[in-house]
Amino acid sequence: MINLKRDAGYKAAEYVKDGDVLGLGTGSTTHYFIEAVGKRIAEEGIKVMGIPTSFQSLLLAKKANIPITSLEEHDIDLAVDGADEIDPDLNLIKGGGAAHTLEKIVDYSAKKLIIIADESKEVESLGAFPVPVEVIPQSSRVVMKALEDMGAKPEIRMAERKDGPIITDNGNFIIDAKFDEIESPLHLEIDLNTIPGVVENGIFTEMVDKVILGTKDGIKEL
């Protein structure tokens, strides 16, 4: 059966070189990348290490027999991560899985960053997807007010099968901020992080080297 996320994840694994330290993104697309790297370890005997961006990617990496390391010990040669929206300048919205804080640290620090996604994530301009903003829980009312003043409609992301807000891997809340339009992703990324209480927001600018999209007509690289 056709699986565009799988196509993108397996294609990205072809860019992994023997000896690489890999940044392992989070989500249903990077799931396939991690699986594919595990296959290359088993079948070709390549030696790589992984730095996960979430408990999810840590568990998947362990299942794929990818040795784990950390940013304290190694620099990252290649990070591969997913996205919720990708614009023509390769700006992103990320954080659909509430992992964008560690993802941004890992993606930013990598020598090379490849984003993998199915074709539905390619957009003309960012903003149909709300911008995830990770906040210190005690700041959430203050940050919601600041986001409203910036023209957004903010909502605290609620958990499923747990009462109340979702809690990130870092013990924080996520506020999803819907903007009518995002004229400058770079300026919005910077402005959001100046609000006290904001840990990190899900706009990623100026860090992507390549996008691999799974499309119905095959792989498309941007």
Return the number of the residue (149 or 160) whose C-beta is nearest ligand 5RP: 160
Judged by beta carbon, residue 46 or residue 105, the one nearer ligand 5RP is 105
Q: How far apart are alpha carbons 103 and 85 in whole angstroms?
A: 15
* Cβ proximity to ligand 5RP, 29 vs 91, nearer residue: 29
- Whole-angstrom distance, CA of residue 157 vs CA of residue 180: 19
Least distance (Å) between residue 99 CB and ligand 5RP: 4
Binding residues for ligand 5RP, rule: CB under 6 A, are 25-29, 81-84, 94-100, 103
Rounded-to-integer distance, Cα 10 and Cα 58, Å: 18
Q: What does the alpha-carbon distance between residue 179 and residue 22 come to, in Å, rounded to a whole number? A: 33
CA angle centred on 133, ends 23 and 100, rounded to 5°: 10
What is the token pair recorded at 135? 């906040």
Residue with tokens 């995830």: 132
Residues noted as catalytic: 103
| Shortest distance, position 94 Cβ to ligand 5RP, whole Å | 3
CB of 45 to ligand 5RP, least distance (A): 28
